[in-house]
Amino acid sequence: MQKKVVYKITYPNGKIFIGKDLTNTLNYLASANSRLIAADFPQEQIVDFTIRKQILWESFTADIKEINKVEVELIRKHQSNNPEIGYNIWPKFKSKHTD
């Protein structure tokens, strides 16, 4: 049985992306929106670009429903859907403060 994981990617600017990988492929790094990320980095910064991948949760037995639930819980916990903190665009970030 294949190990499934939920991971966190940290970019050089400190912003994060939380995602899942159903095959635990070593070189799979993220399905984040490339345009959002590219907008944060000038060309001279992307010629030497380091990101960090951390496994936050793993399972050999979880079904897709449980994996999706864990992914959303971790997105909310780390607030990676808050545009000031991360690159997740779903679930939509809801600020606790109203202006």
CB of 21 within 8 A of CB of 31? no
pTM of the full structure: 0.89
Q: Per-domain residue ranges for the chain?
A: 4-78
Over residues 44-83, the pLDDT tens digits come to 888 999 999 999 999 999 999 999 999 999 999 999 999 9
Cβ-based neighbours of 95, under 8 Å, separated by 6 or more:
82
Over residues 14-35, the pLDDT tens digits come to 999 999 999 988 888 778 888 9
